Amino acid sequence: MRRFGLFSLLILGVVATAPAAESVPQRLGQTVSDFSLKDFRGKTHTLEEYKSSPLVVIAVLGTECPLAKQYAVKLQKLADAYADRGVTFLGVDANRQDSLAEIAAFARTNSLSLPILKDLNQDLVENLQALRTPEVFLLDSQRVVRYRGRVDDQFAVGGRTRPAPTREDLKSAIDELLAGNPVSVPETTAIGCLIGRSRPPKPDATVTYSNQIARILQKNCVECHRPGEIAPFSLTEYQEVAGWAEMIVEVTQSHQMPPWHASPEFGHFVNERRMSAEELDLLQQWVAAGVPEGNPADLPPPKTYTEGWQLPRQPDHIVWMSETPYQVPAEGTVRYQYFTADSGLTEDKWLTSAEVIPGNREVVHHVIVFMTTDGKVQDSERQMVTAFVPGLRITPFPKGMAKKIPAGSKFIFQMHYTPNGVACEDRTQIGLVFADPAEVTHEVRTATTINRRFKIEPQLDNQSFQSQVVTAPADLTLLSMSPHMHLRGKSFRYELTLPDGTQETLLDVPHYDFNWQTAYRLAEPRIIPRGSKLKTYSSYDNSPNNLANPDPSKTVRWGDQSWDEMHLGYFDIAIPKGSENVADQEIAKKIIIMFDKNKDGQLARDEVDPVQRPIFDKIDANQDGIVTEEELVPRIPELRKLFPM
């Protein structure tokens, strides 16, 4: 057993595949009539004007759908690749919520030169029977639809992405038609966001945006879905919400949103995100009634937030990850980047709240900030300060509780970047809110359960492992739990065994999602009695059925990179301020008792296993071949790792 140790491509889960019950309209083999639409610059385009093109690709896009953003870049590359063969690519935006200015910004940001037309009346997408963005239609020389569906299979729901596509559906269809052959796979299921359609509202509707819906969204969604926050679009105004209405119903009914992965069977959490059955029903009624706005006088007063932060007030101190921005490439896989920054603190501080603000949310998948006094970056050996992951809510520690940041500390930023097709840069920062030292009664520490010795076999699902047991050296107060695995992680569970043998599940996450790594904060801090034993259990899916799996053929072991795996069960505990020295003395006594073969109350060098003697020699301050309790106490961090207790 171990004693308590010292401690996302932002593609949100708002995109979905077509549900099993959703019938995909049949448009294959039918001719697309001529149309006349203007692009965002005001230039009119007709299908007839491209009559010399052997093939025309119509790509239905949206400015805010995460997958549409990713695939727009791919579509531009395809357009460039096939330009000399006369293939025409046209983008079409029919979303009621997307303005011409937003389309222009979308094209500029993603370096798109292909025309993007505004289907203002949604006639073209109705004719095509398009459902989602992105969705592509390939027309032959007679303008008959010969392929419809996805661009390829690389990107999927909720940030699940393959390193490269296994099938490039649109490209294959183009090549086959240009070669005079029929399309071998003429239809695939489009994955993405539902088109924001215009519906006539019912005049007698009792459920309106201004009355009920705005309140539901304000309670459950607006914290992230507001300008400057992590969500890809805002839900603070009627016109925007109306365009996303059907998508909101789809992802809330499937419980993709709000993002919450803990089983309701175990534990109560202050940051729990669950819509009630009544709220879900009201959303459905509103959409069925044509998303009526209602009387704006009925709107709730807007919530107020700290400008630019979730923190309770403006930060007392800010630390940047580096002096200059990190250059994120347009494509490829970026290994975890580590940046060491001086905290700039000249005296000890007590941290009550902290928040990481990415410099570029489009490419920062997640950030973990560690605190160190020696500059080393080993994650499991450093105190975690805080993290940034999609959807993380910043909750201050309970009153009287804070983390100690020693003077001269350095912060290590572990950065996970996911290129999105556009070269860009990032400079991330952390904001710190300090407590009055006189008001701090308990020190908060982040501890962890861990398993570094697992071996995940290739091609298999449901491979289960467990951590080493950790034992509470004294009565502790448990504040929160944060499971951490990578792309093959499937489930995670915290199990507590009390001194009397009673077993209890503290947290069960049956459907772990690497893109939504939540800190589950207990509604009421839990006392963990001295001698209690904590263990965590994990399972992994290394099969081809896991769309996020980087490579099902690989045997996977512990490693920092997302294509490796981890089993870490972080948890925050609180101990009375100043009690850590007492606990260290108690641990030192127990270590001596455990290994003191001649029972003389101290450790001789020959009583220690030869493998452990290099550490013994470091602890033996006077080099007399004997380690006393006084020499042990200041080196407890090393001994916690060396001697299982």
Which residues does residue 155 pair with via DSSP β-bridges, in sequence order?
161
**Domain end point (choices 161, 194, 227):** 194
Asked if residue 9 has pLDDT above 50, the reply is: no
Tell which wins on pLDDT, 392 or 408.
408
- Is residue 515 situated within a structural domain? yes
Asked if residue 256 has pLDDT above 90, the reply is: no
Burial call 75-96: b when 16+ CB within 10 Å, e when fewer: bbebbeebeeeebbbbbbbbbb
Cβ(358)–Cβ(367) under 8 Å? yes
Shared domain check, 519 and 447: yes
Which structural domain, as residue segments, surrounds residue 549?
A: 441-578
Tell which wins on pLDDT, 116 or 586.
116
At residue 8 the predicted structure's pLDDT band, cuts being 50, 70 and 90, is very low
The DSSP call for residue 212 is I
Pair of tokens at residue 367: 């950030």
Pair of tokens at residue 474: 């004294």
Residue showing tokens 């105190």: 383
Name which of 416, 308, 316, 401 is nearest 369 in CA terms.
416
Asked if residue 609 has pLDDT above 90, the reply is: no
Predicted confidence at residue 160, as pLDDT, reads: 66
Tell which wins on pLDDT, 608 or 213.
213
- Least-confidence region, from 277-291, 301-315, 342-356, 563-577: 301-315
Among 172-176, 221-225, 421-425, 556-560, top mean pLDDT goes to: 172-176
Which CATH number fits the domain that encloses residue 162? 3.40.30.10
Residue showing tokens 């419980």: 255
Neighbouring residues of 613: CB distance < 8 A, sequence distance ≥ 6? 605
Predicted confidence at residue 637, as pLDDT, reads: 57
Asked if residue 24 has pLDDT above 70, the reply is: no
Asked if residue 22 has pLDDT above 50, the reply is: no
Shared domain check, 536 and 522: yes
Distance CA 179, CA 174 (A): 9
Distance CA 555, CA 549 (A): 12
Distance CA 231, CA 248 (A): 13
DSSP letter for each residue of 40-88? TTS-EEESGGGTT-S-EEEEEE-SS-HHHHHHHHHHHHHHHHTGGGT-E
pLDDT digits (tens, 9 = 90+) for 53-89: 999 999 999 999 989 998 999 999 999 999 999 999 9
Residues in the chain, total: 645
pLDDT digits (tens, 9 = 90+) for 160-196: 677 789 899 999 999 999 999 999 999 999 999 999 9
Shared domain check, 554 and 466: yes
pLDDT digits (tens, 9 = 90+) for 482-533: 999 999 999 999 999 999 999 999 999 999 998 888 899 999 999 999 999 9
∠ CA 480-484-488, nearest 5°, is 150
> In the chain, how many domains are there?
5
Distance CA 466, CA 18 (A): 36
Which CATH number fits the domain that encloses residue 463? 2.60.120.230
What distance separates the 2 farthest-apart alpha carbons in the chain?
97
Shared domain check, 448 and 544: yes
Which residues does residue 470 pair with via DSSP β-bridges, in sequence order?
2, 534
Q: At what angle do helices 169-178 and 66-81 cross, to 10 degrees?
A: 30
How many CA within 13 A on the CB side of residue 157? 17
Shared domain check, 147 and 23: yes
Asked if residue 383 has pLDDT above 90, the reply is: no
Name which of 116, 117, 149, 115 is nearest 130 in CA terms.
149
Shared domain check, 588 and 573: no
Distance CA 202, CA 85 (A): 50
Shared domain check, 632 and 569: no
- Is residue 4 situated within a structural domain? no
Three-state SS string over 307-370 comes to CCCCCCCCCCEEEECCCCCEEECCCCCCCCEEEEEECCCCCCEEEEEEEEECCCCCCEEEEEEE
Cβ(492)–Cβ(512) under 8 Å? yes
Task: State mean pLDDT over 150-157.
Answer: 88
End-to-end CA distance of the chain: 5
Residue showing tokens 């052997």: 54
Distance CA 548, CA 204 (A): 46
Shared domain check, 447 and 540: yes
Shared domain check, 446 and 436: no
Predicted confidence at residue 7, as pLDDT, reads: 26
- Is residue 304 situated within a structural domain? no
At residue 580 the predicted structure's pLDDT band, cuts being 50, 70 and 90, is low
Neighbouring residues of 134: CB distance < 8 A, sequence distance ≥ 6? 59, 60, 61, 62, 65, 67, 68, 71, 72, 75, 150, 151, 190, 192
Q: 33-37: which pairs have CB atoms within 8 A and are 24 or more residues apart?
A: 33/127, 35/123, 35/124, 35/127, 37/92, 37/117, 37/118, 37/119, 37/120, 37/124
- Is residue 11 situated within a structural domain? no
Distance CA 600, CA 75 (A): 76
Cβ(195)–Cβ(156) under 8 Å? no
- Is residue 570 situated within a structural domain? yes
Predicted confidence at residue 20, as pLDDT, reads: 35
Shared domain check, 36 and 121: yes
Distance CA 336, CA 313 (A): 31
Cβ(398)–Cβ(477) under 8 Å? no
Predicted confidence at residue 2, as pLDDT, reads: 36
Cβ(100)–Cβ(41) under 8 Å? no
The neighbour count for residue 533, using CB atoms within 10 Å, is 17
Q: Is 352 left (phi over 0), alpha (psi -120 to 50) or beta?
A: alpha
Q: At what angle do helices 245-253 and 277-288 cross, to 10 degrees?
A: 150
Across all residues in the chain, what is the average pLDDT?
Answer: 89
pLDDT digits (tens, 9 = 90+) for 100-133: 999 999 999 899 999 999 999 999 999 999 999 9
- Is residue 111 situated within a structural domain? yes
Shared domain check, 482 and 339: no
Distance CA 572, CA 384 (A): 10
Predicted confidence at residue 12, as pLDDT, reads: 34
Tell which wins on pLDDT, 640 or 257.
257
Asked if residue 273 has pLDDT above 60, the reply is: yes
Task: State mean pLDDT over 26-30.
Answer: 81
Name which of 447, 356, 448, 436 is nearest 402 in CA terms.
436
Cβ(16)–Cβ(250) under 8 Å? yes
**Domain end point (choices 383, 411, 440):** 440
- Is residue 10 situated within a structural domain? no
Asked if residue 158 has pLDDT above 80, the reply is: no
The DSSP call for residue 19 is P
pTM check: above 0.85: no
**Domain end point (choices 406, 440, 474):** 440
- Is residue 2 situated within a structural domain? no
Shared domain check, 111 and 52: yes
Cβ(28)–Cβ(148) under 8 Å? yes
Name which of 79, 70, 48 is nearest 174 in CA terms.
79
At residue 377 the predicted structure's pLDDT band, cuts being 50, 70 and 90, is low
- Tell me the pairing of strands 116-118 and 88-93: parallel
